[in-house]
Chain A
């Protein structure tokens, strides 16, 4: 028995939530602690995110859960050919979530979810050696998802709902590797937009052949954040008609929040005290071909990205240690959508291993506190972005170096049911 528990604990050393690109998998403290599995795990209202078909399976009439995370990430860069090095000083990310479900009848439930599945905040030292690609980027998106779920047959439920996405972006980089004003200040372009809305949808199905085994499938659609109302600021350009003028102008850009499909299973054993889960995610990143900025002053910036679809393999377990204490752990392997030669320092993420831990403590029979930790480990990766050209030069200037990323996420949440 003890051996099994120890084994479970070690297996459950699971990780955290970056899923390559700018997807941040932190949509539940309970599930993050289990490697962010969940498409077939009926734990709490959090299932609304993982699989809308699951909310009808929640035992209580009303379920509410809410929580947040601190995302502490760090990227070190160095280039041994030239002796350059830099380290990000990124602000702490704070993804949050709120889910509420209500069981209208035994086979019909409704819910509302608010969560932040995409975001990226990377701050390099201003004018660092890759500043012509990015000084600073901050992406965020809030998803609001009303959801319906219906028990179709004894063993099959379905669910789904529309998603209203509200996105914002701020991005700053130098105009080129060398352009400066007369005082030597690097010429700079910043863009900013917020409150951009777009619609998508989520749908799921859950199959529960026995009360020990569940199988779930979820699909969330592509949402394109099309920015047309934002402001671009050109600064520190020299006083010359050979360069753009300083000042503000408009811009258009489209940032895809890619579709994602998840297939997963869960299995209960040891008198239902132990639950094991496995999820397979496929994020359809190949939608992200190029980040094209078209400024109203006639300047265009084409930045090939050429992302590929990427998979994530998630393993999680939870163990009800006592009536009040549930411990969780998990692991996931997260494949980066970034292809070789397209490794831009705005989302400098290679394949990673995530190790997650967490626990829930039942304060009252209705209220539990959920905590989770995620450690994301990246190997050193020597990569380059090969599609930058100095103005007027037909020869690309690859930006190459070795990156060492690390990330740590800690989260806290509450679950309430009655």
Chain B
């Protein structure tokens, strides 16, 4: 009987063992049982680019922005398919802003302030904590992210771009100076030395963006034919041949060790709220004021009508330059340097101002929001900017200026696409992806991502750079292109889990 009991207890225990096993998923995400890298090798991912690659947002580079940079998001997904650790030149804090030897050289981030009564007021510079990242404290240790805010294509191959001494003289970049391997180092040289097994390259945005955000006051180096990288000014459009030549060098450097990768193209400037937020016709007038303003343009309008009868001015341009305000919302008056020079009939030797009213084809820059409608001369009520006084050239990106940008962008993108093809790399059409966000919006788990300023979720408060959610969307587009090219199965991320704009009333 005793013996039987022991056997029964043994049977119990055996049964216990049978029913108590197996607490694991059949295909465990955590244990790497779900995703594959295909023909790619994600062991060491290296990324090169500008502010977008760095995770810049809200007008600053801050810690959470970097942690939500698209490369860091992609690297996180790669880690589910054999990817290794991913190091970024992290700043110290979420204030943003940079110091050089204790002196602040770049401003803090923007936050969305309220009016103190529960309504959103607008972007404001965060002052809740002092910036603590000093560029003289060099970042040490191996890096994977070589995104340098402000960099144009040729900057990546420019020696001394990371020289601390050059920051104060304007010849070097403070962000790169933080982590350059030496004063003379190039971004691409440092990135190539990291010897990645996989890379992404997204560069060229600033090569048109500087011209665009300055309202087209700069030079189009394609028009001037300037092919010297050293003299492509800050507000200029980079020459297409300069772009193509340097871009090819960058790809060659990153693929020299046989690494696979993805090249990301350049989105339209019209995808960003910097150019789509301020309307061209925001200024409402009543009938009396409109009539009063029209009087002040009567002489100018008369001249246009007269010139239209001469070979100096086409009827079409004359029509476009006739200024007429009516009761209700009115298009702003702008200076357009692409208009025809016309001698001033009343003042020999002088030219008429190149004025016209903006149309829906003109893009008013975001920074004009705080300028339009204010008085150019505080003592002159008739000097309302955009009405009695034209909005400056720097406040409007005219359709001619946009055409120059689009021409360069198209050339850049065709360079990028052909180099992707030639080097058997993935080509990421960020242009289409972000155009979708701007036009119809992109549905996600919990909402629709749009480019509407502050509320659309896609763009941060500087109106140029994505939010973390926008970066996550970008990361997904890149992941999908990588999967398609290399047969990998990296999962995308849930963009609804990534934050948008930061609320705070701790502001200036």
A→B interface (CB under 8 Å): 2, 5-6, 9-10, 13, 15, 74, 76, 78-85, 87, 129, 177-180, 182-184, 238-243, 321-322, 325, 327, 329, 355, 357, 373, 375, 377, 380, 388-390, 393, 395-398, 402, 404, 406, 408
Contacts and interface: CB of A to CB of B under 8 A. Distances in A.
B16 A389 contact: no
A180 B62 CA distance: 15
8 contacts: A9-B8, A241-B117, A242-B114, A327-B8, A395-B447, A397-B496, A404-B23, A408-B20
Given A78-B25, A240-B503, A357-B15, A129 B497 contact: yes
Given A373-B16, A395-B446, A238 B503 contact: yes
Contacts of B504: 182, 238-240
A180 B94 CA distance: 12
Shortest 9 CB-CB contacts between residues of A and residues of B: A397-B446, A83-B491, A178-B499, A240-B503, A406-B23, A355-B19, A78-B29, A184-B64, A241-B114
Nearest to A355: B19
B77 interface: yes
A80 B446 CA distance: 18
Interface string B115-159: 111111000001011000000000000000000000000000000
Contact of B497 (A178, A183, A242): A178
A357 B14 CA distance: 12
A76 B111 CA distance: 37
Contact of B498 (A83, A178, A241): A178
B4 A5 contact: yes
Contacts of B76: 83
A15 B491 contact: no
B506 A239 contact: yes
Interface in B456-485: 469
Contacts of A81: 491-492, 494
Contacts of B116: 241
Contacts of B28: 78, 85
Sort chain B's interface into a size bin: 35 or more
Given A74-B23, A241-B117, A396 B15 contact: no
A87 B23 CA distance: 11
A314 to B, nearest CB: 16
B491 A390 contact: no
Contacts of B499: 178-180
A294 to B, nearest CB: 19
Contact of A398 (B445, B448, B500): B445
A84 B129 contact: no
Which one of B4, B11, B445 has the greatest number of beta carbons of chain A within 10 Å? B445
Query: Which applies to chain B's interface (DSSP): helix, strand, loop or mixed?
Result: loop
A349 to B, nearest CB: 14
A396 to B, nearest CB: 7
A243 B5 contact: no
B220 to A, nearest CB: 40
B78 to A, nearest CB: 10
B12 interface: yes
B347 interface: no
Contacts of B500: 178
A375 B447 contact: no
A58 B307 CA distance: 116
A389 B19 contact: no
Contacts of B30: 78, 85, 87
Given A5-B4, A398-B445, A180 B19 contact: no
B27 interface: yes
Given A183-B129, A375-B16, A397-B445, 10 more contacts: A5-B4, A6-B8, A179-B499, A180-B502, A184-B94, A238-B503, A241-B115, A355-B19, A357-B12, A380-B25
A375 B23 CA distance: 11
Contacts of B129: 182-183
B15 A9 contact: yes
A218 B44 CA distance: 64
Interface in B57-109: 63-64, 76-77, 80, 94
A243 B503 contact: yes
B505 interface: yes
A178 B495 CA distance: 10
B24 interface: yes
A239 B128 contact: yes
Contacts of B111: 182
Given A82-B493, A242-B118, A5 B23 contact: no
B306 interface: no
A76 B23 contact: yes
Given A10-B15, A389-B446, A397-B445, A241 B25 contact: no
A242 B121 CA distance: 10
B407 interface: no
Nearest to A1: B4
Which one of A87, A184, A388 has the greatest number of beta carbons of chain B within 10 Å? A184
B288 interface: no
B338 interface: no
B421 interface: no
Nearest to A10: B15
A84 B15 contact: no
B34 interface: yes
A5 B490 CA distance: 54
A287 to B, nearest CB: 30
Contacts of B492: 81-82
Given A238-B502, A357-B16, A177 B128 contact: no
A177 B111 CA distance: 19
Contact of A390 (B35, B443, B496): B496
A402 B4 contact: no
Nearest to B118: A241
B316 interface: no
Given A13-B19, A82-B493, A321 B24 contact: no
Contacts of B447: 390, 393, 395, 397
Nearest to B491: A83
B1 interface: yes
Contact of B446 (A87, A396, A406): A396
A179 B497 CA distance: 10
A404 B27 CA distance: 11
